[in-house]
Amino acid sequence: MNRRSTNPRRIIQAILLVAMFCPLVTYAGSIAVPAEVKTIQEAIDLAQGDDIILVAPGNYNEVIDFKGKAITLKSTDGASVTILDGWRLDDSIVKCISGEGPSTILDGFTLTGGTGNTDIYGKDATVGGGLLCMHSSPTILNCIFVSNETTYHGGAIFNGDRSNTSIQNCKIRSNTSERGGGVYNSRGRPVIRDTVLSENVAKYGGGAMYNFGSNVRIISCSLKHNR
């Protein structure tokens, strides 16, 4: 019986050809807060593309900046028990200001006590108590924005500089600002779906929402008791 000898060089060449012409497969990792990393921002700083940050129930008092990363920040047990608290932060609680797109996802948090960011209009004109978006289009899911307050625009959410934020299945209530007690949109095309905006207050207009040069899609939402 004849046996053909195997040429090691040919095997190596075949492996190299497969590596050249077959796309690499990458898998998203996960980071647990606070089990693996103490703070949410530290987890974001460590995260790479498509990673998922899983946040356990608790009260988190920190400013969160996605830094342009296409990652998912998700609570493990839902918004009612996972609180992003803006007490004494003197800033927006969550910021998307580096060109974030739809693959940047915030899912399942309560954002409360935010007083907004001063970098855009100055220290006497804060915007975006809970969420600040500038030229960014993140996806916001299953979140509660409650009792945030700014001195200028967007008590809960400020979508500025052509931000096309997608807001789905959220509750936006009891937030306050001069304009856009709940949401302020500037020159963008955000989509707001299956969301309740209630009891928000604006001194000069748009208790629930104020739109400046924006084309907003509002789908299956409820707006009630705003003033």
Cut 0.85: pTM above it: yes
Rounded to an integer, what distance in angstroms lies between the CA atom of residue 194 and that of residue 192?
7
Domain boundaries, the chain: 27-224
- pLDDT higher than 70, residue 6: no
Rounded to an integer, what distance in angstroms lies between the CA atom of residue 4 and that of residue 82?
65
Closest among 109, 161, 157, 117 to 135, alpha carbons compared:
161
CB of 55 closer than 8 Å to CB of 41: no
Torsion region of 135: left, alpha or beta (phi above 0 gives left; psi -120 to 50 gives alpha): left
- pLDDT higher than 80, residue 139: yes
Question: pLDDT for 147-184, tens place per residue?
Answer: 999 999 999 999 999 999 999 999 999 999 999 999 99
Rounded to an integer, what distance in angstroms lies between the CA atom of residue 161 and that of residue 121?
13
Task: Specify the pLDDT at position 28.
Answer: 74
Question: pLDDT for 15-72, tens place per residue?
Answer: 444 444 444 434 579 999 999 999 999 999 999 999 999 999 999 999 999 999 999 9
Stronger pLDDT, 202 or 8, i.e. the higher one: 202
Planar angle of CA 133, 134, 135, nearest 5 degrees = 120
- pLDDT higher than 90, residue 12: no
Task: Specify the pLDDT at position 146.
Answer: 99
Closest among 190, 176, 178, 185 to 218, alpha carbons compared:
190
Question: pLDDT for 181-221, tens place per residue?
Answer: 999 999 999 999 999 999 999 999 999 999 999 999 999 99
- pLDDT higher than 80, residue 80: yes
Q: Where are the alpha helices (DSSP H) in the chain?
A: 8-21, 40-46
Task: Specify the pLDDT at position 18.
Answer: 43
Task: Specify the pLDDT at position 10.
Answer: 56
Task: Specify the pLDDT at position 123.
Answer: 83
3-state secondary structure of 90: coil
